[in-house]
Chains A and B, each alone.
Chain A
Amino acid sequence: MASDEKHTDEKNIGRRTFLGLLVAGVVAFLFGKDVLPGLTTGSSPTATTVAGGGSTSTTAGGGSESTGTTKPAKSPTEGFRINSVKPAPAFDPATWKLTVDGLVAAPLTLDFAELTALPQTTVVRDFYCVEGWGVDQVEWKGVALSELMKRAQVDPKATHLLFHSSDGVYTDSLTIEQAGFEDSLLVHQVNGVQLPHDMGQPLRLIYPGHYGYKYVKWVERVEVLDIKESPFIGYWESYGYTSEATIH
């Protein structure tokens, strides 16, 4: 009968398969993202050819950037997942204003044309979301926060800049020191094209080297304040994320 013939040619195939799958899993963990990157990123708007590619450069008066190199044709927002907590009003260049106020000697109110007429800085940096996805070598173009702070004449006792989104709920902050870094910008272009609406049009904060939740979209107000006098907490920080947003 059948049971008498058992064990004659038995092999531990179950455990071998199990161990083989674990090894395959380690390989997939290490290299799968490079082979099939689309699995953790969202869809993208239409494709556009993108010019530029320098690391950091500054031009005066809104001049256009071109270093002579051309990136492969791709969508300017390829690889980004769109994460927003509230929809924001559509951008209207005729009415839009950026306000810089609070602990400043010279409050600023700039329309979009005035903003783009300021000295422009272009940086190329990797972008990481705290969710675990990222986009390599994103080109951002906009105005350095140091330039705005200089024009607004920030009070020496100020400790932070608080960025308000026009969605009415999202805020986040940088310290005065962080805002002074050369690549802390309010940007209006990504990869050579104007920011799409769902990426923060017309103006978005970038703070390279830190997680994307610091990159406030639809910035319409920069409030300069002293955290001791005016305590605040950013949107995601109120849910438990760290204010530092450091990428390890």
Chain B
Amino acid sequence: MPGDTAAAAGSGAAAPEGPAAAPASTPAVPLGRIRRFVLAERLSHWLYALFFVVAFVTGLVMWIPSTRAALEGARLAFSQYHGYVGTAMVILPLLLFILLDRRRLFRDVREIDRWDGQDRRWLGLAFRGHTLRGRPMPPQGRFNAGQKLNVVLVAAMAIGFAASGGILMHKQDMSAWLVTRALWFHSFLAVVAIALFAGHLAHVFVTKHGRTYLAGMVRGWIPESLARERHERWWAEESDRRVV
């Protein structure tokens, strides 16, 4: 698997990947930091987040009876805008990722797909509250099992939002049987997504290293100390590849 600690070299996704791409005299990031996300990953993440928040707010406005009534005839145009935002949410971040760094996308998908025994043990212990109580956890790669599960959930829900939203955007041409189920399913997914989103934010603002992870998604790198503590296997791999 290509390493990116050295390869990113301050140029984000545009930099070629692999150890050979990094000149020995120019470390990828300052010592004590380790690059976790390239530009393509960060842009896709924040673009998805932006569209999700806009889709959530517009969806909520249509769902609350008083605001729905206040919209009067604009309700119809509003629902169309909501549909456009939802369409953009599903398509644009993925398209951007593909255009900017397709190889990185495939690498991420591969990492998220593959779980070994330590991932499974990590998740089992996490569900039993070990992470919240600060107990020792099995060593993890760049993504821990909870982060992998989160990505899988978001991806599956994006498919669900797209399918049910597509039906609702063309409801006048669809059967009532299909439309009523699509509306229910879309609302159900929204409730689940909000719960997931709230948990995501809680991890950022409540847990010990949450803000550091957030900074990692903004700047691309995290402190090596955090990588060593929480993502030991990834840190070890990257340390092996580092050219100093």
Contact = CB atoms under 8 A, between A and B. Distances in A.
Contacts of A67: none
Nearest to B123: A13
B6 interface: no
A82 B113 contact: no
A14 interface: yes
B236 A3 contact: yes
B156 A32 contact: no
Contact of B152 (A14, A29, A36, A241): A14
A213 to B, nearest CB: 10
Interface residues of B, number: 51
Given A81-B65, A86-B72, A131-B183, A2 B232 contact: yes
Tell me the interface secondary structure of chain B in the complex: helix
Contact of A132 (B117, B119, B179, B240): B179
B244 interface: no
Contacts, number: 130
B174 interface: yes
Given A25-B159, A134-B176, A12 B171 contact: no
A236 B185 contact: no
B206 interface: no
A241 B75 CA distance: 12
Given A3-B236, A239-B77, A25 B176 contact: no
A17 B188 CA distance: 19
B153 interface: yes
Contact of A1 (B114, B149, B157, B240): B240
Band of interface residues on A? 35 or more
A69 interface: no
A130 B169 CA distance: 11
Contacts of B120: 13
Contacts of A232: none
Interface in A74-97: 81-86
A82 B63 CA distance: 11
B33 interface: no
Contact of B184 (A7, A15, A17, A32): A32
A199 B121 CA distance: 56
Interface in B187-244: 187-188, 191, 232-233, 236-237, 240
A20 to B, nearest CB: 9
Contacts of B114: 10-14
A21 interface: yes
A132 B72 contact: no
A149 B105 CA distance: 67
B198 to A, nearest CB: 18
A22 B187 contact: no
Contact of B180 (A1, A36, A82, A133): A133
Given A3-B236, A13-B113, A132-B168, 8 more contacts: A6-B233, A10-B114, A14-B112, A22-B159, A40-B180, A83-B69, A239-B76, A241-B76
12 contacts: A1-B236, A2-B236, A13-B113, A14-B113, A14-B152, A25-B160, A39-B191, A86-B72, A130-B172, A131-B183, A235-B73, A248-B175
Interface of A: 1-3, 6-15, 17-18, 21-22, 25, 28-30, 32-33, 36-37, 39-40, 42, 81-86, 128, 130-134, 235-236, 238-242, 247-248
Closest 4 CB pairs of A and B: A132-B183, A14-B113, A21-B156, A13-B115
Interface of B: 65, 68-69, 72-73, 75-77, 109, 112-117, 119-120, 139, 148-149, 151-153, 155-157, 159-160, 164, 168, 171-176, 179-185, 187-188, 191, 232-233, 236-237, 240
